[in-house]
Chain A
Amino acid sequence: MPYLRPLSPHLQIYKPQLTSILSIVHRFTGIALVFGIFALVYWIMSIALGESTFIKAQSYFRSWYSQIFLFGWSFCFFFHLCNGVRHIFWDTGFGLELPHVYRSGWLVLYGSISLTLCTWGYIYLI
């Protein structure tokens, strides 16, 4: 290839503000969710491999360090979902004015945090 394509500006170039932070977090949650999918594939495989493998997998997932990962993945899932919906609204031309971008940004942040807390509250308390 004769020409090198230009790179995206690196992360430290952006002034920390809600809009840039949420955009960066969207990418990071996406990357984190790759490993979440692999964990899901492992879980599905453990069901196919029989009861003893499944029990081993379940005990892995129930250990405290896995629970931290699962908590993280659940937040990544809800954040990526909510912010993804925000992106789709932008693609159709809605909410592009700066005050709306900030309002939807806070909504995504608080929404994903409360969805994560509700999920774990449901799992542990009910």
Chain B
Amino acid sequence: MTTKPSEEKQQSALTFIRHLISTKGETKFWLTQRVTAITLIPVGLWLITSIIHLTQSDYNHVKEWMSSPFIKAGLLLCVWISLYHTYLGLKVIYEDYIVYSNIKKIILLLTRMSFLTAGSLTLWAILSLSLSSQS
């Protein structure tokens, strides 16, 4: 089977355009970014008012505040959703401004690793607080 050179050219142009407008998983990405954003409106407002009220508190008061399982769950949720929302946002910025796909992949991996570390540390802190308060 032979194709004319002009057809071949058209074919490669089409592949190029398909690559540029690739919409694989983009709808899901868009929706996840919006869902995390909307969730963060009440959660973020709750967090900032809590922090404002705790600015003058001593350790015992803060620990007492943290003793409620709802507060613990709220804090964990807040950090995790924020990290995820930030990860999605940073991914778009990397895609917009980093030329080389290898560097992009490395930076994305570093971001993911540091965010996973931050998320795990928060989980560890919350778990150790709930375990120590039981004993």
Task: Name A residues whose Cβ lies closer than 8 Å to a Cβ of B.
Answer: 1-8, 10, 27, 30-31, 33-34, 37-38, 40-41, 44-45, 47-49, 51, 54-55, 74, 77, 81, 84-85, 87-88, 91, 119, 122-123
Asked if A41 and B20 sit within 8 Å, CB to CB, the answer is no
Nearest B residue to A38, CB-CB: B118
Task: Name B residues whose Cβ lies closer than 8 Å to a Cβ of A.
Answer: 16, 19-20, 34, 37-38, 40-41, 44-45, 47-48, 52, 55, 59, 62-63, 66, 75, 79, 82-83, 86, 89-90, 93, 95-97, 99-101, 118, 121-122, 124-126, 128-129
CA distance A84 to B34 in the complex (A): 9
B129 surroundings in chain A (CB, below 8 A) = 47-48
CA distance A81 to B42 in the complex (A): 10
Asked if B97 and A37 sit within 8 Å, CB to CB, the answer is no
Given contacts A7-B99, A33-B86, contact A122 B52 (CB under 8 A): yes
CA distance A93 to B13 in the complex (A): 34
Nearest A residue to B57, CB-CB: A58
B19 surroundings in chain A (CB, below 8 A) = 2-3, 5
Asked if B93 and A27 sit within 8 Å, CB to CB, the answer is yes
B44 surroundings in chain A (CB, below 8 A) = 77, 81
Asked if B126 and A44 sit within 8 Å, CB to CB, the answer is yes
CA distance A7 to B55 in the complex (A): 43
Given contacts A1-B101, A85-B41, contact A41 B59 (CB under 8 A): no
Asked if B62 and A88 sit within 8 Å, CB to CB, the answer is no
Asked if B34 and A41 sit within 8 Å, CB to CB, the answer is no
Asked if B118 and A47 sit within 8 Å, CB to CB, the answer is no
